[in-house]
Amino acid sequence: MTVRLRGLSTAVPPTQLVQTEVAEVFGAQPGLTRLAQRIVSTSFGLSGIDTRYTVLDELTTGGPALEDAAFYDRAAGRILDPGTRLRNDRYAEHASRLYVEAGRAALAAVPAIAADDVTHVITVSCTGFYAPGPDFVLARDLGLPAGVQRYHLGFMGCYASLPALRLAAQLCEADADAVVLVVSVELCTLHLRTSNDPDTIVATSLFGDGAGAGLVTARPLEQGERALELDGFATRTTPQGEGDMAWRIGDHGFEMVLSNAVPSLIGEHITGAIAPLLAAEEPLAAALRDGAVAGAIEHWAVHPGGRSIVDHVEKALALDEAQLVPARETLRDYGNMSSATVLFVLERILRDPAAADGERVAAMAFGPGLTVESALLTVRG
């Protein structure tokens, strides 16, 4: 049975953040030490990001001061520090809209599949919680069947969309008629804060908001339709790094631990982490052993957790610079949107006319653990 990812779609909120402007705001916050100011300048300047998006229109530097501002005082140029409850209330408000927008776009992209055909929903997020949750909202607002089965993968971090696709594929392998709607929404900017802590500053320089969605099914493709076959998945936890990447709930939002050791740890362990993914196909396994995997797999959907992470993956796997253009362009245009990001990279690859039918794609994403999730796909159409 061949299971495919179809209707791959993405969405972002309307408010754009320009990296240079955000850097000026964060660098000018009261209470920053000189060292923290230098870290802000370096982290923002070397991030590889030009723009990001946010659900918080009050974060823009232009326009009049807002009387009810909770995150940014425009008149004073000061970043505010709301509590976790307010941040999570904003998550519930804005995430619901983006879940529905992305899910509707995925259905619209595959006219042969209607809302009534969806048998399962899988939602993904690590930036907020509410119940009834986004799985319920999708079923209600998209008019899905009353008996649609719903699952939510929460608080897993940046790698979670790949386990979601794996679960969707397993559901389709168990039921040839299954149609699984997978939607990831991450509103990372709800948790931005000013701080002298280097990990917090780095996180502030990287994260943005976005949503990705797609339909996973074994139903046949329509004439001229482009899709990605889901060939295999792998999970590996590195022997080091448990304390270097973490995501915790604090009194003033969720707190990211993202040490500067993460890129080198990924670079050190990435070859071993993807070896199980390629083991089922001996030509690919042999190419990895020979250091020639870049020639055996045409496209690489690497989660751009930061510019240095992409650099270390490129070096460790001896990839061509062109193979990482989709990852670097996604980082440049949107920043790191946690679990949704790899779906943006896959969409960029799929819509590229140069990605020909039958070419292979290796996807990978990284998160707490330190965990590496990977997938092997094939372009169709």
Active-site annotation holder among 126, 158, 172, 188: 158
Peptide bond into 376 cis (omega under 30): no
Give the CA dihedral 75, 62, 37, 330, nearest 10 degrees. Answer: 150
Q: 3-state SS of 333-358? A: HHCECHHHHHHHHHHHHHCCCCCCCC
158 has catalytic annotation:
yes
- The CB density around residue 362, as the number of other CB atoms within 10 Å, is 24
* Residue 215 three-state SS: strand
**Count, residues in the chain:** 381
Whole-angstrom CA distances from 109 to 102, 112, 230, 369 are 11, 9, 18, 35
- The CB density around residue 338, as the number of other CB atoms within 10 Å, is 33
Supply φ then ψ for residue 201, to 5 degrees.
-65, -45
* Residue 1 three-state SS: coil
Task: Kindly list the catalytic residues.
Answer: 158
